[in-house]
Amino acid sequence: MCIAVPAEVVSIDGTTAAVDVYGDRFTVSLMMLTEQVQPGDFVTLRAQRYAVARMEREDAEAARRLFEGLFPELAARARRCVRREMLFR
């Protein structure tokens, strides 16, 4: 069984997108999606290679809170990523 962690779309280039998962960036295929996505949207991934569904922001945030509660190291990592992004703005 796989657990789908929400990935935020950072940029789109044709049929691929750069996504962010707790500070890790991946390039994924958008070919399996049935609806359009844009930067700032959230998607679920399969095998860290294929976006398979778009998620509503509220659902993605709820899922992230759940994962961060189950795995405290994810919460710490998410805070470090946010601080790092704020430094480079």
Per-residue pLDDT, 23: 81
When comparing pLDDT for 87 and 22, which is higher? 22
Contact indicator for 32, 52 with CB cutoff of 8 Å: yes
Domain residue extents for the chain: 7-87
Could you tell me which residues come within 8 angstroms of residue 31 by beta carbon, excluding any fewer than 6 positions away? Answer: 15, 50
Please give the Cα distance from 57 to 76 (Å, whole number).
Answer: 21
Whose tokens are 């280039």? That residue is: 13
CATH number of the 7-87 domain: 2.30.30.140
What are φ and ψ of residue 34, in 5° steps?
-100, -10
Residues 10-52: tens digit of each pLDDT: 999 999 999 998 888 989 999 999 999 999 999 998 887 899 9
When comparing pLDDT for 2 and 50, which is higher? 50
